């Protein structure tokens, strides 16, 4: 589903629902021809129940999607703060480490701000990890030259937090889409609901195409 454009997904979903309604209408007409004395009986109640179930599933799905979006947005803020803290704490480093670390962090910000359409996610991740390796090599060199330095420890702690947030954001992006099982369930319930609606419509004297 996520690989299709939104408008294609919308058109296919509407066509799917209309097809289900038409199938339900046809089944209802066949039932009436076979049992002409039968009334609508419980079709309306079943249609109402399935509509309620569909509404519940859609509300639950929307809640899950909003929750995942909020998580990703919060992680963006946390990562921005972590990068800023690392940049500021680079002042604790001696030259040339200070200058090179700050240049690497500027490159890192550009990579993290890359739009999905300008480069692939794999390329962004690869470049991010290359910068992580370079930054960590500077941290190791500074730590060896300044053992037991509290200021260097503060820089390393900020850098470590920034790298950890990269991993957390990557996992959040990978899990941003809802599981396929949820989509299959929604479409199955949608088909059943629209089928019952079509059957209910078939019991009316005149078909309402709206």
Each residue of 148-175: pLDDT tens digit?
A: 889 999 999 999 999 999 999 888 887 7
Q: Please tell me the distance from the alpha carbon of residue 82 to that of residue 165, in angstroms, as a whole number.
A: 8
Per-residue confidence (pLDDT) for residue 101, from 0 to 100: 94
Interhelix angle 150-174/121-145, nearest 10 degrees: 160
- Tell me how far CA of residue 72 lies from CA of 153, 166, 174, 187, in angstroms: 29, 12, 11, 26
Please, which residues have CB within 8 angstroms of residue 92's CB and are 6 or more apart in sequence? 151, 152, 154, 155
Is it the case that residue 51 has pLDDT exceeding 70? yes
Mean pLDDT is lowest, of 59-63, 110-114, 193-197, for: 110-114
Per-residue confidence (pLDDT) for residue 40, from 0 to 100: 59
HSE-CB at 146 with a 13 A cutoff on CA atoms is 18
- Per-residue pLDDT tens for 96-140? 999 999 999 999 999 888 755 555 778 888 899 999 999 999 999
Tokens of 202: 């078939």
Mean pLDDT is lowest, of 41-55, 83-97, 105-119, for: 105-119
Per-residue confidence (pLDDT) for residue 200, from 0 to 100: 85
Most confident of 22-26, 80-84, 89-93, 176-180: 80-84
Predicted TM-score of the model (pTM): 0.71
List of domains in the chain:
69-178 (1.20.120)
Per-residue confidence (pLDDT) for residue 115, from 0 to 100: 58
Is it the case that residue 41 has pLDDT exceeding 80? no
Averaged pLDDT of the chain: 86
Per-residue confidence at 2, pLDDT binned at 50, 70, 90? low
Is it the case that residue 1 has pLDDT exceeding 80? no
Is it the case that residue 176 has pLDDT exceeding 80? no
pLDDT over 90, % of the chain = 43
Burial class (CB in 10 A: 0-12, 13-18, 19+), 86: buried
Per-residue confidence (pLDDT) for residue 38, from 0 to 100: 64
Burial class (CB in 10 A: 0-12, 13-18, 19+), 196: buried
Per-residue confidence (pLDDT) for residue 206, from 0 to 100: 60
Smallest Cα–Cα separation from 170: which of 107, 118, 110, 126? Answer: 126
């Amino acid at each position: 589903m996520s690989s299709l454009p939104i408008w294609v997904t919308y058109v296919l979903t509407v066509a799917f629902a209309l097809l289900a309604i038409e199938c339900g209408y046809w089944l209802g007409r066949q039932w009436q021809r076979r049992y002409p004395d039968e009334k609508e009986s419980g079709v309306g109640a079943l249609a109402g129940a399935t509509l309620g179930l569909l509404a519940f599933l859609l509300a639950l799905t929307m809640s899950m999607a909003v929750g995942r979006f909020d998580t990703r947005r919060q992680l963006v803020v946390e990562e921005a703060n972590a990068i800023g803290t690392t940049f500021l704490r680079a002042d604790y480093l001696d030259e040339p480490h200070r200058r090179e670390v700050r240049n690497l962090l500027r490159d890192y910000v550009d990579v993290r701000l890359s739009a999905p359409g300008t480069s692939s996610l794999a390329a962004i991740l690869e470049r991010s990890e290359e910068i992580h390796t370079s930054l960590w090599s500077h941290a190791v060199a500074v730590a060896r030259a300044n053992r037991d330095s509290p200021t260097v420890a503060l820089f390393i702690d900020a850098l470590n937090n920034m790298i950890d947030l990269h991993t957390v954001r990557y996992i959040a992006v990978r899990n941003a889409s809802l599981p396929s099982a949820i989509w299959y369930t929604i479409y199955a319930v949608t088909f059943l609901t629209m089928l019952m609606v079509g059957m209910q419509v078939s019991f009316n004297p005149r078909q309402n195409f709206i």
